[in-house]
């Protein structure tokens, strides 16, 4: 384990792990504290000035209700300028998290990369089990497709345009020919992979396919559904089954709340019969993560399918450590890798 990370865990009394909460409410309370509160409090000082971007929340109709998407659009001097677009899906084991989870991080990326971003807040299990979180994200993706046609950007000095940003639901400032990315962390990465297959195969996305995918510590296949030919490559699930931030017991609890059939490719996307045509992919993995080999195996499968793939391994750290301990040098490296990974994807759009 990274010595600075180990010391931070020990100081927080978490070196032996976070006690497994008994209820989803307790789980979400811990998530809100560690994965949202601590993370955003640290990143607050890195936020770009408010006149550099516009953030608006939109309601998207879904079956049985509606969800929120947060749209981040850079401000520019030329209202005709347009940007590549990232559709982002938060993590949290399909049962935790919300649109605030990576909000500050995405605001930083929006300005640094001149990148429009749609951040999806899907409904959570166990109240909304599989496939509802996935279907919500698919509905949001179709909403994005429908609202791409209006490509208006903002001049910070133009109050009329700023006010229009607050009222115009089609304001994304995007040009998909400059890049159309999808990505997320953990469960968000899982949903991203599934949607990359859906968008590849769905005719409504003809001419508007993803050009890149970002996956951080992805969950690619349920451990009971590993393909026989690849089982020997999934060593990390047993080797790191009792790590402080994600254990096998915790995974079983989250998988139970999501309640997806292990062999359904919409839950275990490694099981899709073909991975050809998936967009070029950038992956981050954590060395001491039970899901580490999900990232390794998926990178190998993508390369075998002819998909350009880049993978970075963060040494000596566990799943989602960068949320609870964002000031560590190892967490800074995760954010730097994200920046370089997005640059790598966008340069090849």
Q: Is residue 209 part of a domain?
A: yes
What DSSP assignment string belongs to 252-310? HHHHHHHT--TT-TTTSGGGSS--TTPPEEEEEEETT-TTHHHHHHHHHHHHHTT--EE
Q: Is residue 138 part of a domain?
A: yes
The proportion of the chain whose per-residue pLDDT surpasses 90, expressed as a percent, equals 81
What pLDDT is recorded for position 5? 97
Q: Is residue 88 part of a domain?
A: yes
Stretch 267-281: mean pLDDT, rounded? 97
Predicted confidence (pLDDT) at residue 311 exceeds the cutoff of 70: yes
Predicted confidence (pLDDT) at residue 253 exceeds the cutoff of 70: yes
Predicted confidence (pLDDT) at residue 35 exceeds the cutoff of 80: yes
Q: Is residue 159 part of a domain?
A: yes
Stretch 54-69: mean pLDDT, rounded? 96
What pLDDT is recorded for position 165? 40
* Domains in the chain, number: 1
Stretch 269-293: mean pLDDT, rounded? 98
Stretch 247-275: mean pLDDT, rounded? 97
Which domain CATH number covers 227? 3.40.50.1820
Predicted confidence (pLDDT) at residue 337 exceeds the cutoff of 90: yes
79 — pLDDT class (breaks 50, 70, 90): low
The proportion of the chain whose per-residue pLDDT surpasses 70, expressed as a percent, equals 92
What pLDDT is recorded for position 157? 40
Q: Is residue 8 part of a domain?
A: no
Q: Which two tokens stand for residue 327?
A: 């000031």
Q: Is residue 315 part of a domain?
A: yes
Predicted confidence (pLDDT) at residue 158 exceeds the cutoff of 60: no
Q: Name the residue range of residue 124's domain.
A: 20-347
Q: Is residue 2 part of a domain?
A: no
Q: Is residue 13 part of a domain?
A: no
At CB < 8 A and 24+ separation, what contacts does 301-309 make? 301/270, 301/275, 302/275, 302/278, 304/275, 305/274, 305/275, 305/276, 305/278, 306/276, 307/275, 307/276, 307/278, 307/279, 307/280, 307/281, 308/280, 308/281, 308/348, 309/280, 309/281, 309/282, 309/283
């Amino acid at each position: 384990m990274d010595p600075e990370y180990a010391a931070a865990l020990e100081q927080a009394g978490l070196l032996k792990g976070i006690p497994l909460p008994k209820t989803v409410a307790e789980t979400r309370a811990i998530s809100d504290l560690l994965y949202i509160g601590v993370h955003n409090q640290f990143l607050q000082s890195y936020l770009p000035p408010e006149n550099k971007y516009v953030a608006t929340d939109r309601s998207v109709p879904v079956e049985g209700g509606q969800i929120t998407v947060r749209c981040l659009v850079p401000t520019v001097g030329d209202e005709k300028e347009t940007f590549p677009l990232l559709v982002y899906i938060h993590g949290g084991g399909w049962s935790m998290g919300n649109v605030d989870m990576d909000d500050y991080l995405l605001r930083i990326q929006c300005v640094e990369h001149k990148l429009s971003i749609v951040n999806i807040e899907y409904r959570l299990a166990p109240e909304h089990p599989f496939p509802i979180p996935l279907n919500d994200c698919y509905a949001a993706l179709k909403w994005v497709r429908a609202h791409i046609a209006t490509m208006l950007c903002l001049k910070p000095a133009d109050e009329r345009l700023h006010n229009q940003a607050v009222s115009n639901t089609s304001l994304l400032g995007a040009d998909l020919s400059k890049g159309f990315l999808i990505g997320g962390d953990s469960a968000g990465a899982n949903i991203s992979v599934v949607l990359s297959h859906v968008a590849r195969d769905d005719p409504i996305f003809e001419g508007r396919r993803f050009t890149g995918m970002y996956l951080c510590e992805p969950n690619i296949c349920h451990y009971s559904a590993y393909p026989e030919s690849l089982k020997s490559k999934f060593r990390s699930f047993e080797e790191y089954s009792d790590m402080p931030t994600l254990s096998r017991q915790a995974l079983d609890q989250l998988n139970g709340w999501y309640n997806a059939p292990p062999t359904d490719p919409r839950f275990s996307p490694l099981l899709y019969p073909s991975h050809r045509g998936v967009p070029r992919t950038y992956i981050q993995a954590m060395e001491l993560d039970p899901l580490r080999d999900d990232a390794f195996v998926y990178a190998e499968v993508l390369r075998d399918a002819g998909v350009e793939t880049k993978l970075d391994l963060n040494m000596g750290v566990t799943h989602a450590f960068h949320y609870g301990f964002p000031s560590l040098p190892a967490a800074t490296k995760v954010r730097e890798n994200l920046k370089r990974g997005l640059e790598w994807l966008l340069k090849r759009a």
